[in-house]
Structure 1
């Protein structure tokens, strides 16, 4: 059996927060377009330009959802899009499969890394310090592929149900 190894998140990803550029709602209204504009919990608008092009992992930086977890706190973003300063943006440095990492972050207890009571926050230092245990990259990819099959089936069933209504 393969050995699983413990890492800090900052050891397995590159954090690209320095590339984020927030736009006010007034600015976004003057820049309406077809590119998704992401915040902490997903797409909040569409604008006329993009900063990122590719697949990256977005992780909520602040908001009550960090504690309640009513929605996933991590999500994959694909294609061309803009990210504001309420979501951390990370890419793999080759040690982890970003899809596997997304599943892990949405299913582990992060309460020890979250600060603030009125406005919960996962700052960059605490994000980097999150402890995770990873198998080999090959096994991570296999696990992510397996879980993705179920996610795709769930999404297909959701669309079928929507069409029945």
Structure 2
């Protein structure tokens, strides 16, 4: 049905809960230290030897930094402040979901007065426009290129600034140093 509707209309709007399952994280402290990242709402908080899920997933903070999404494609663990997703790859590319949810202001969906919070019920109702898989992949490829470009610039910028600062200091010294005509 999905393919037929996208063939006819070009894309279809589905609720997030129709294309993925949102799962809760849990405590990792009973496990040994290892090389599998443990995610909380702020990012990687530790490493363990056990994973909660080992496929592509979008991690959505449940409490705290609710706009701080993560795309993961390696085994990981999540604590209870962040949801992980089990995505139906027959109808959506996981990274497409990541990019689309990144575009939404999730803070507007906050369900709490104090610490920002999201619920599965609220998240499951988000409408996601789904073009055909080929178009999703094209969108992901373009956004990946821009993401890489931005990261390359961000990583290279401090070195470039330092080089320009040294260049400025060199030329300032050369241009503002005069020989004393009495010597």
Shorter-chain TM-score bucket reads 0.7 to 0.9
Runs of 4+ in 1 over 6 A off after TM superposition: none
For residues 81-115 of structure 1, give each alpha carbon's deviation from its aligned partner in whole angstroms, at most 9, with x where no partner exists: 21111111113212211111111111113355320
Larger RCO (CA within 8 A; separation ≥ 6): 1
Measured after TM superposition, the shift of residue 80 of structure 1 is: 2.2
Match of 2:85 in 1: 90
TM-score relative to the length of structure 2: 0.73
Q: Deviations over 1:63-90 (max 9, x none)?
A: 1x33xx4xxx321112122111111111
Q: Take 2:116 and 2:139, find their aligned partners in 1: how far apart are those partners?
A: 31
Contact kept? 1:38, 1:87, Cα under 8 Å = yes
Cα distance, 1:151 vs. partner?
0.7
Instruction: Identify the residue that residue 10 of structure 1 maps to in structure 2.
Output: 17
Distance 1:81 1:6 in 2: 30
Question: Normalized per residue, which structure has more strand?
Answer: 1
Matches of 2:111 and 2:82, distance apart in 1: 15
TM-score where L is the length of structure 1:
0.80
Give the root-mean-square deviation of aligned CA atoms.
2.3
Cα deviation, residue 32, structure 1: 3.0
Give the unaligned 5+ runs of structure 2: 1-7, 163-183
- How many residue pairs get aligned? The number is 153
Extract unaligned runs of 5+ from structure 1: none
Q: Does the Cα contact within 8 Å between 2:22 and 2:83 map onto a contact in 1?
A: yes
Tell me the residue number matched to 1:105. Answer: 101
Cα displacement (A) at 1:5? 1.6
Whole-angstrom distance in 1 between the partners of 2:50 and 2:83:
19
Match of 2:58 in 1: 57
